[in-house]
């Protein structure tokens, strides 16, 4: 792995530890693809989290945006949260499974990450707790159903800084998600729409022309 200032060896050491942790986690189904078929810390760490290169890419995007406030829907074990938080003034992150949320809090404490507001609850139910903040980055990484993605993206519009970026995870995970992504791209609000395969990025930044691009990395 090439080293960059977005490489976080302490987070990756913790990831290795979690991949070997056979502790059982009570399963709660919050949405398509929420936990795969697993119910151990090891399974979640192996299957549910953004891989290191994608976590580094998110960290780089957070840094580029000079994030004052970021929002993550879907904390899981908190590793990607840690990457984002390291390059943002504050991260708000939400996890529906209280057992997983407690594990995430303990992981963030171990990593010495203190600028995280960790919320427990179903996304729509806790939405009001996101407050009046304007977020520079919103990362939707939970409940991979097309209708849910569209709903979260539309609700995000009022909270997203005009130059902010909405990152929609797993846009090619299913035909339902692909349809939702196409629908989002057709909305007049967005200028740049970027398909990076792993996720789709949308911004309303008026300095950018309305354009749809695909990148692979
Ligand atoms: C793919 S994982 C998140 C991975 C994490 N962002 C990372 O990269 O490390 C999705 C998480 O979102 C949670 N989740 C899914 N749908 C949810 C919902 N509707 N409300 C609250 N939590 C939800 C699941 O319990 C799961 O832990």
Classify 208 as helix, strand or coil: coil
> Which of the four CATH numbers 3.40.50.2000, 3.40.50.150, 2.40.10.10, 3.40.50.10320 does domain 50-214 have?
3.40.50.150
- Whether residue 32 is predicted with pLDDT greater than 70 in this model: the reply is no
Rounded distance from Cα 212 to ligand 1 centre (Å):
27
pLDDT at 36 over 60: no
DSSP of 147-192: HHHHHHHHHHTTTEEEEEEEEEE-TTSSHHHHHHHHHHHTSTT-SE
- Taking CA atoms only, the protein residue closest to ligand 1 atom 14 is 142
- Atom 12 of ligand 1 has which residue's CA nearest to it? 74
Residue 153: per-residue pLDDT: 97
- What ranges make up the beta strands (E) of the chain? 69-73, 90-95, 116-120, 135-140, 160-169, 192-195, 199-203, 211-214
User: Does pLDDT of 33 surpass 60?
Assistant: no
What is the separation of C-alpha 94 from the centre of its chain, rounded to a whole number of angstroms? Answer: 10
Q: Does 43 sit in the ligand 1 pocket, CB within 6 Å?
A: no
**pLDDT (average), residues 8-25:** 97
33 CA closest ligand 1 atom index:
1
Is the pLDDT assigned to residue 38 strictly greater than 90?
no
């Amino acid at each position: 792995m090439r080293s960059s200032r977005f490489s976080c060896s302490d987070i990756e050491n913790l990831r290795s530890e979690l991949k070997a942790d056979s502790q059982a986690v009570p399963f709660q189904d919050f949405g398509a693809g929420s936990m795969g078929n697993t119910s151990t810390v090891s399974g979640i760490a192996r299957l549910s989290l953004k891989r290191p290169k994608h976590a580094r890419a998110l960290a780089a995007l957070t840094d580029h945006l000079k994030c004052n406030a970021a929002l993550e829907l879907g904390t899981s074990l908190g590793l990607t949260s840690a990457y984002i938080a390291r390059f943002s003034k504050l991260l708000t992150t939400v996890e529906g499974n209280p057992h997983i949320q407690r594990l995430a809090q303990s992981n963030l404490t171990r990593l010495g990450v203190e600028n995280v507001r960790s919320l427990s609850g179903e996304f729509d139910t806790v939405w009001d707790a996101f407050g009046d903040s304007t977020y520079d980055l919103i990362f939707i990484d939970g409940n991979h159903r097309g209708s849910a993605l569209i709903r979260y993206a539309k609700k995000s519009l009022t909270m997203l800084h005009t130059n902010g970026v909405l990152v929609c995870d797993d846009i090619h995970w299913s035909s339902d998600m692909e349809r939702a992504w196409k629908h989002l791209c057709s909305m007049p609000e967005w200028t740049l729409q970027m398909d990076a395969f792993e996720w789709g990025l949308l911004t309303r930044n008026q300095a950018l022309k309305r354009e749809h691009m695909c990148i692979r990395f």
